[in-house]
Amino acid sequence: MFSSPCNPTGALYSKDELESLVKVFEKHPNLFIMSDEIYEYINYQGKHESIAQFSAVKDRTIVINGLSKGYAMTGWRLGYLAAPIIVAKACDKLQGQFTSATNAIAQRAAIAALLGDMTPTQEMVEAFKLRRSKVMQLLKEIPNIICSEPPGAFYVFPDVKYYFGKSTPEKTLINNADDLCMYLLNTAHVSSVTGSAFGEPNCIRLSFANSIENIEKGFAKLKKALFDLQ
């Protein structure tokens, strides 16, 4: 199971990298591959590459996608998958016991999104690209933070371990990323997600799915909160 573009890092698998993975999977014919591609269109480096394109593994690949990211339909909570029929039927059987079906309005909206003009999505991605540049600029203004520029999605995943072991103005010790996230929330009113939720305890996830104006305001508060740590 993997995602490309990835949440939380924004990393992408290239076609060559996926082909190398396929060579490994060919040695294990009993494995199914679950590929989360919901950030498919939020890609700053060109064409999206799916592992389902390789015939050697296509019949055991489960592609997960949805409308939340590429079509900005987050609140509609509508996703879909492409899978071997045996898997699709099993999912249908389970889904029917949980929610029965998607509401009719969301279904009609999905048709409009999937069959309609992609210009709004392309414009959205260009806006994300500008926000990404702004976030990377603002991160560079904060000492001792390490962060790669994400090639996809709308998150940065900076390494913030320099601030572990420091104390807040109220003398509360910041032991880890969990503590740092709570400190930023309570002090700077900036919401972040601890890297431990993704298996990387030295990092935190920050989203740039907001206006540049709000990003600048948020980073000003975040920067001050970090500078106040002793």
77 and 30 inside one domain:
yes
Per-residue confidence (pLDDT) for residue 52, from 0 to 100: 97
| 152 burial via Cβ count (<10 Å: 0-12, 13-18, 19+) | buried
Say whether both 6 and 110 belong to one domain.
yes
The residue from 115, 137, 162 where one domain ends is 115
Calpha distance 148→28 (Å, rounded): 33
End-of-domain residue from the set 99, 115, 131 = 115
Tell me the per-residue pLDDT of 157-203, one tens digit each, with 9 for 90 and over.
999 999 999 999 999 999 999 999 999 999 999 999 999 999 999 99
Number of domains in the chain: 2
Residue at which a domain ends, from 66, 90, 115: 115
> Do 220 and 128 lie in a common domain?
yes
Asked whether residue 195 falls in the same domain as residue 100, the answer is: no
- Which CATH number belongs to the domain containing residue 61 in this structure? 3.40.640.10
Q: Which residue ranges of the chain lie beneath pLDDT 50? A: none
Q: Please check whether residues 101 and 81 belong to one and the same domain.
A: yes
The pLDDT value recorded for residue 46 is: 86
Whether 142 and 223 map to the same domain: the answer is yes
Length of the chain: 230
Instruction: Map residue 199 onto helix, strand or coil.
Output: coil
Question: Which residues constitute the domain of residue 91?
Answer: 2-115
Mean pLDDT of the chain: 96
pTM: predicted TM-score of the whole model, two decimal places: 0.91
